[in-house]
Structures are given as C-alpha cells and as structure tokens.
Structure 1
Amino acid sequence: MLSDAEVGGTPVYAGQMVYVAIAAAHFDEAAYPRPEVFDLGRQSGHLGFGLGPHYCVGAPLARIEVRAALDALLDWFPRIRLARPVEFRYGARGFVQHGTQELPVLLS
C-alpha cells in the first residue's frame, strides 16, 4: 500500500513521481565538505561510475584513457594553465550533473 512520506524535509505524496539525481549525492555536506568548490585534492570518493552491483564495467578503461590523454596533453604542453578561474555548476549543458560548459586554457 502506498503512503505519503517525507524525504530530507520534503513531503512526497503517495503515487507522486520522484526524480532521483545521483549527482545530488555529491552535495551532501556531511560527506563532501564545501561540495560547491572544485577541489582536485578532495579525498572523498565519488559516484561517477556507480557503486556496488551497478558499478560501471568500463570504469577501469575510462580511467586508463583519461590518464593517457592527460599524459599526452602535458607532454605536448608542459606549461598548460587555466586562462581564468573555472566555474562549476549544477546542471551544466542541460545534464543533471555538475560541470562546466568550457575550460579555457593557455598553451605554451
């Protein structure tokens, strides 16, 4: 039997459609201090590849590919740097994830 509930202080009514955005989990301040700040040194895990039985089978290959691409980029442009501070935001490019629409860099 369906019944009304409350999730995080928000009422959810029986039969109501609910959209769950996994990216929102990264905004839990108890797990991710200052979640709105892009921090390469952050030690907390992430859910980008899923978790448990829903873990992405391609995750190891994706990590290898990213590492190879970044290594090649840094070999060609060892002094690459950001042209200006990057603004990451929720819902970039229409996706229900956080990110940026551009990453302007200076190559030298």
Structure 2
Amino acid sequence: MLPFEERMPVRRYAVEDIDLGDVRIRKGDAILLAFGAAGRDPSVHGDTACEFDVTRESSDHLAFGHGVHFCLGAPLGRMEAGIALRALFDAFPDLALAVPVSELVPQASFIANGFQRLPVILRPAAVAAAV
C-alpha cells in the first residue's frame, strides 16, 4: 500500500508518517502533487532542467505514468507523435516562433506547463524552397 490515498485528482493525504530527508509529512497531512515539476530536477538534468531540450540524454520522465500505472497506449502515443511531428516539419520546414521567447506568457497553472499563446510563422515547404 502506498503511503497516501487518493481523494482528489492532484491532492493526496498521507496514510502514515513519511520522512523525506529533513521534511516530515505527518499522517493525515494533505500532499499536493506538482505534475508540472516532473522532469525538472537540476540534480538530474543540470542547469537546463527547466528548458525543453530534445537532445537531453536522460529519458526518465513521467509522461506515460510509471510502474503498474504505465499507460497501455504509450507505444501508440509515441508513434502518433512521431508521425505528426514529422508531417508538421515536412510541411513547414521553416516553422518558427513569431515573437521573441521573452514575450511568451506562461499558463497560469500549477499542474501543467505551457504558454497562453504560441504564435508561430508557418511557411509551407514549397514557399520555403523558393525563398
């Protein structure tokens, strides 16, 4: 049995005392899971832990769950993403942000990462080849 029980989608309650280094969570304390923090540990990923980096060597992430809760559809999801991204970049090889990164406004969420808007420049492959 896990040392917490589910009562809400992102809130759990400790069913026993939990010691995490110098922090103690007492039985009955609420635990809020910050899903947006997953994969951002600087001790694992260094100074760029909070940056999106497709070249990152470590593939430890929780996108499809873990253990007995690992997503049955993970292989299909990976295949679909590979096909969709390949098609997107084939159709728009010069895909680029339409604004500087500094102008992107983060979502107001403690659960998910992302931006309120992601304006991009789409130039079809035929146009990009002619330029």
**Under a length normalisation based on structure 1, what TM-score does the superposition of the two structures give?**
0.73
Q: Which runs of 5+ in 2 are unaligned?
A: 1-14, 124-131
Aligned to 1:25: 38
The CA RMSD measured in Å over matched residues stands at 2.7
Taking a change above 3 Å as real, the CA distance of residues 54 and 81 of structure 1, as seen in their structure-2 partners, is same
Identity fraction in percent: 37
Report the Cα distance in structure 2 between the residues aligned to 1:88 and 1:10, rounded to whole angstroms.
Answer: 33
Quick check: 1:49–1:56 contact (8 Å CA) kept in 2?
A: yes
Letter in 2 for 1:85: V
Given candidates 13, 36, 46, the residue that maps to 2:50 is: 36
Equivalent pairs, count: 105
Report the secondary structure of 2:85's partner residue. helix
Taking a change above 3 Å as real, the CA distance of residues 24 and 74 of structure 1, as seen in their structure-2 partners, is closer
Aligned to 1:80: 95
Higher relative contact order (CA 8 A, sep 6+): 1
Question: Can you list the C-alpha shifts for 1:72-93, whole angstroms capped at 9, x where unaligned?
Answer: 222221221222327585xx35
Q: Which runs of 5+ in 1 are unaligned?
A: none
